[in-house]
Structure 1
Amino acid sequence: MGKSKFIVSKSKILGQFQKLKQLGLEVSYSVKTFPEICQILEENTDSFFSIHMFQTLNFVKDMSRVWFIAQAWDKELLDKLFEKGIRNFVVDNEVDLETLLKYLEKKNTKVNLLLRMRLKEHTIYTGKYFVFGMYSHQINKLIPELRKNKSINKLGIHFHRKTQNTSEWNIKDEISEMLE
C-alpha cells in the first residue's frame, strides 16, 4: 500500500484565509493541524499561529506571530518560551493562568493574553459545548481583575471551532450574549 499524499493549493488556502478576515476576525492557524501550511500563511498573510507544544515552534520563523496555548506548564517551559521571544499566550483554565501570573510577577515584561472560552458547537454532529476553555461566568469574573494587571498589554478572548464551514458560525452574536 502506498503512502498517502496531500496536495496543497496555495490559492485555496489564501482564499479561505480571506473569508475569515472578511468576518472581522484575527486568524490564528493551528500548527498541529498541518504544519507545512505555516510557510504559506507566514509569507502571504498576517496570520498568527497557535502552538501547543514547544517542539513545533520550528515551523514558524516570526515568534511575534505565535500564540502559545498553555497546557499544564511550569516555570521551566515559561523560561524557554520567553527566551524564544514569545509574548502571546492563551490559557484555558485558571491553574495555568495563575502559573503565568506568578511568573510575570518576577518579570519586567508585558504579554498579550487570551482567555479561551467554551462555545457551543452548532453542527449536525454535536450540540454541546466544546470541552476546552473556561465558562463565560469565569471569564466575566476574570476580565476586570486582569485589566488591572500591569504585566498584561492586550487582553482578549480566544475560541475554537471544530468546523471549517464558516456558514455555521454565528460568532459575534454568540460572544456578545456570553460576555458582560
Structure 2
Amino acid sequence: MPKKELREEIRRRKHRFTREQLRERSLPIVARLLAHPRLMEAETVLLYYSLPDEVDTHGMVDELLRQGKTVLLPVVMPDRGMQLCRYEGPETMREDEFHILEPTGEPFTDYEQIGVAVIPGMSFDARGNRLGRGKGYYDRFLKLLPHAYKIGVCFDFQRSEQVPVGANDIPVDEVIS
C-alpha cells in the first residue's frame, strides 16, 4: 500500500476512538515505556508532546522531568527542520502555527548526550520501519542521532504488516504499542 493510502487508513482507524478512549489506551503503553531499561538508564531523552490522536505522553514528559532527566522536545522551524529544546514544565509550553504545543526552553544541540529518542508515527511495522505524517521532519532529524536508541510509539491498531520505505526513511530500533 502506498504511503498516502496507509496514512488515510490509519486516520480512519484513529477516528473510531474518542480522545478519552485514546488517552485510556495510552496508559499501558506509557507504563511500558517508563519501565523500559534503556529509558530508565538514559540521562537525556528526546520525547514528543503528543497531539490528541497520538499516544498521550504529557504525563510521561512530566514524570521524566521529576526523575531528574533532561527532557528534550522538538520545535518545528520555518525552514521545515526541527530543533530540540529543553522541557522545563507545562507552563513553559506555547502553541505553534500548527497548534502543536512546543517548549520555550533553551535550545539543545549536544546530540551525543541523547540516550533514547521516543518517536511517534502514523504506522510502524515489525522491522521498525516508520510512516510519519508526510513532512519528513523526524527522518531528517534522526539522521543526526545515529547513536541514540530509537523507540517508536503507537497504538496497536497503527501497526502494519509492511510500511513502505523510501531512501530517506530512518527505522527505529524497537516499537512499543
For the aligned pair, the TM-score class normalised by the smaller chain equals 0.3 to 0.5
State the structure with bigger RCO (CA 8 A, min sep 6), 1 or 2.
2
* Greater fraction helix: 1
* Greater fraction strand: 2
Bigger-Rg structure (1/2): 1
